[in-house]
Amino acid sequence: MKLYGRTAFLLLLVLAAAAGARAQEGGEGFRLKGLDGKFYDTASMRGDVLVVSFGATWCVPCAWEQVAVEELKVEYAGRPVRFLWVSIEDPKRVSNNILRHYAKERRMTVPVLRDPGGVALAQYEKTGTRVPVVVFFDAEGRPSGKAQQGMPQDITVYKQLVRDRVNALLAARNGGGGR
């Protein structure tokens, strides 16, 4: 029975590694694989303010939130701000091809990542899988403040909430809080 338990444990470890999700020490960030085949590691993005949105294809507010993120990406072009969108869905239910189609249909230009086991999301959303969840990282690569959960019905209000957080992080970065 011990051999079965060890085998099952090792299999789970291998599957978790294959999924490409890894929480970093201290719950400070993550490393996830994107649909483009690249790995995105929050630790390697230090120096930039990072806005990470967790969502799902079935989530209606997430679709509106994606519109806001795309508009904000254009607004912050040329500034040290990066945007990522992370799907929390199981690849067995929503394949990479379906997710690519979803992103193309919505004209998403931000990198689309996968967090199929919810390892990364669980660091910031403790009450389940309520999405969208937006996490802000400062220029030192640390999560900054509480994650933004849900989305106001007015996209203008939502964009201003994100703008306020990003601008504060940029001010801290430029004031000696970052490199």
Radius of gyration of the chain (CA): 17
Q: State the total domains in the chain.
A: 1
The helix or strand, by DSSP H or E, that contains position 102, with its residue range, turns out to be helix 96-105
Higher pLDDT, 69 or 179: 69
Amino acid identity of 121?
L
Give pLDDT tens digits for 9-21: 333 333 343 344 4
Per-residue confidence at 152, pLDDT binned at 50, 70, 90?
confident
**Is residue 55, in this structure, part of any structural domain at all?**
yes
**Is residue 5, in this structure, part of any structural domain at all?**
no
**Is residue 114, in this structure, part of any structural domain at all?**
yes
Q: Which long-range contacts (CB under 8 A, 24 or more apart) does 77-81 make?
A: 79/170, 80/47, 80/48, 80/49, 80/139, 80/170, 80/173, 80/178, 81/48, 81/49, 81/50, 81/51, 81/166, 81/170
pLDDT averaged over every residue in the chain: 84
Q: What is the CATH number of the domain that holds 42?
A: 3.40.30.10
Q: What is the mean pLDDT of residues 112-117?
A: 92
Domain range spanning residue 160?
33-177
Tokens of 117: 């086991």
Q: Under DSSP, is residue 32 helix (H, G, I), strand (E, B) or coil? A: strand
**Is residue 10, in this structure, part of any structural domain at all?**
no
pTM equals 0.81
Q: What is the mean pLDDT of residues 152-160?
A: 91
**Cα angle 24-25-28, degrees, rounded to a multiple of 5:** 65
- Are the CB atoms for 143 and 137 separated by under 8 Å? yes
Give pLDDT tens digits for 68-94: 999 999 999 999 999 999 999 999 999
**Is residue 127, in this structure, part of any structural domain at all?**
yes
Higher pLDDT, 113 or 118: 113
**Is residue 17, in this structure, part of any structural domain at all?**
no
